[in-house]
Amino acid sequence: MEKKRRFRSNGNIVLIGFMGSGKSSVGKYLASCLNLEYISSDDIIEEREKMKISDIFKKYGEKYFREREKEVIRDVSNRKNTVIATGGGIVLNWENVENLKKNGVTFFLRTSCGTIYNRIKDDKTRPLLDVEDPISTIRRILKVRMPLYKAASDYIIDTSRLSVEEVSEKIKNYIRRIEDEKD
């Protein structure tokens, strides 16, 4: 069994990427392997608003959601020893990226349009993709966000053909390397 260990620098591991890229599944698994806390910015928004994200979009619109998201990101960025799964749109506001990077290493879980579509097609919880032609929408949003995800990330991991365990292993290797360099 793998020895439980914390991220010695006490910082956060921040997962960024498009909807359906596996941020929450990888985040939960990774946190349990490394004995770190796990949080999802989307879960915190839902808890604070006492409403599902799709309902927040419906009732108040995207602009309102982005404001709540910014507040949550500001708060969670102050944490330590935490794996943070972020919402896919946090890169739209650079203040989010700056806050998350203050105390964390960012990993972009890059995923192809086809993989994203297969993962989200029966899921109605994502208001931005609850549209007539989700594939074109994914393609269009990805095109805008790809440069932002790249610029925001310290490391990029292609996740399309990898399991949750394999993605987590890659992240653990990067973390080990970061810590070895510090020794």
Note the residues at the interface with ligand S3P (CB under 6 A). Answer: 19, 23, 42, 53, 87-89, 126-128
Q: Distance between CA atoms of 66 and 118, rounded to whole angstroms?
A: 26
Least Å distance, CB 180 to ligand S3P, is 31
Least Å distance, CB 33 to ligand S3P, is 21
CA angle 154, 158, 163 (to 5 degrees): 120
Least Å distance, CB 7 to ligand S3P, is 22
Cβ atoms 85, 41 nearer than 8 A: yes
Least Å distance, CB 6 to ligand S3P, is 25
Secondary structure (3-state) at 104: strand
Least Å distance, CB 24 to ligand S3P, is 6
- CB-wise, 129 or 171, nearer to ligand S3P? 129
Query: What letter would DSSP give residue 92?
Result: G
Tokens (6 digits) for 8: 């010695």
- CB-wise, 52 or 170, nearer to ligand S3P? 52
Cβ atoms 99, 77 nearer than 8 A: yes
- CB-wise, 71 or 179, nearer to ligand S3P? 71
Considering only the C-alpha atoms of the chain, give the largest distance between any 2 of them, rounded to a whole number of Å: 53
- CB-wise, 23 or 110, nearer to ligand S3P? 23
Q: What contacts 13, CB < 8 A, 6 or more positions away?
A: 7, 30, 34, 36, 82, 83, 84, 104, 105, 107, 171, 175
- CB-wise, 47 or 179, nearer to ligand S3P? 47
Q: Distance between CA atoms of 108 and 15, rounded to whole angstroms?
A: 6
